[in-house]
């Protein structure tokens, strides 16, 4: 298991690092022949003497290596880069790293990954199944599946409902019923499972502590019940919370009155039936006062 860095080829718009440039023979419906391949921070650039193609990373559906050639697919076209010699694999890795940086930015992944490994994945969502190979990056609040395709997923740890293991496969089930199975991680399986478990437990502990910080009169038992009723990043019926834990709701309302959403919250309660009003609270960044 290792920590993989995803360098971007230059911080300035249009700047291309010389380490991300290659030469190849291109086969595609748009352009054929000798091209220079430049892996820019937002797109893959393919340039001949008189023509240039820009393939935005957001348009790439998949990319792979086979028979010493790099294949790139988009909804409209396919591109094959040949005759790269021993640089084909390096080009693929540079493309993969830069592509992942773009994906992680879209996922709002914060900080460095705690752990990284690779293996097979199976995604089961809304009755559909997607599978393949990819990299798995674990952060303190989420797990990212990063394949060389548009199958990438960000899995918030707070939405995981169950985690179990079947030999060398980790089975992650979400509260909504979707599931993600990670396998063929080799010796990394034990380490990844332990770190994922530790992150979930740490998040639960911090949430329980946050609940108790809102109302010091709440018992440990009630704190646990409230944490289950109102998990982090999810909503709860305000009327249900108020009926069962009025002192906590009073503390939350006090904080709302002191916040920027005070007027908006009053307006919302006037126009929405109390039976349908949902509320969610979130802890402020560490070292700051919690806010609703």
The span from the CA of 37 to the CA of 48, in Å, is 9
pLDDT over threshold 90, residue 9: no
Instruction: Look at residue 292 and tell me whether its pLDDT is greater than 60.
Output: no
Give alpha helix (H) positions in 37-146. Answer: 88-106
Structure confidence by residue, pLDDT tens digits, 52-94? 999 999 999 999 999 999 999 999 999 999 999 999 999 999 9
Q: Whose CA is closest to 126, among 176, 61, 181, 182?
A: 176
**Beta bridge pairs of residue 39:** 44
What are the φ and ψ backbone dihedral angles of 154, each rounded to 5 degrees?
-110, 120
Q: Is the pLDDT of residue 16 over 50?
A: no
The pLDDT of residue 147 is 98
């Amino acid at each position: 298991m290792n920590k993989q860095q995803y360098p971007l080829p230059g911080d300035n718009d249009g700047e291309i690092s010389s380490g991300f440039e290659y030469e190849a023979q291109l086969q595609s419906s748009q352009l054929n022949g000798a091209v220079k391949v430049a892996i820019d921070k937002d797109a893959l650039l393919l340039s001949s003497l008189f023509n240039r193609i820009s393939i935005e990373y957001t348009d790439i559906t998949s990319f792979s290596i086979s028979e010493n050639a790099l294949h790139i697919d988009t909804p409209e076209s396919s591109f094959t880069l040949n005759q790269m010699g021993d640089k084909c694999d390096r080009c693929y890795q540079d493309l993969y790293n830069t592509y992942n940086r773009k994906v992680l930015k879209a996922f709002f992944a914060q900080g460095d990954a705690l752990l990284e490994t690779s293996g097979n994945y199976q995604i089961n969502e809304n009755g559909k199944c997607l599978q393949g190979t990819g990299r798995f990056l674990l952060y303190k609040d989420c797990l990212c599946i990063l394949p060389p395709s548009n199958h990438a997923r960000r899995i918030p740890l707070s939405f995981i409902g169950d985690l179990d293991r079947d030999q060398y496969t980790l089975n992650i089930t979400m509260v909504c019923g979707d599931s993600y199975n990670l396998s063929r991680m080799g010796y990394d399986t034990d380490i990844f499972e332990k770190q994922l478990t530790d992150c979930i437990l740490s998040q639960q502990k911090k949430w329980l502590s946050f609940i108790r910080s809102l109302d010091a009169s709440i018992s440990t038992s009630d704190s646990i019940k409230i944490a289950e009723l109102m998990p982090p990043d999810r909503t709860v019926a305000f009327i249900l919370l108020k009926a069962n834990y009025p002192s906590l709701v009073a503390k939350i309302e006090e904080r709302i009155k002191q916040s920027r959403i005070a007027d908006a919250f009053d307006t919302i309660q006037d126009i929405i039936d109390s039976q349908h009003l949902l509320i969610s609270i979130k802890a402020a960044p560490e070292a700051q006062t919690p806010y609703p």
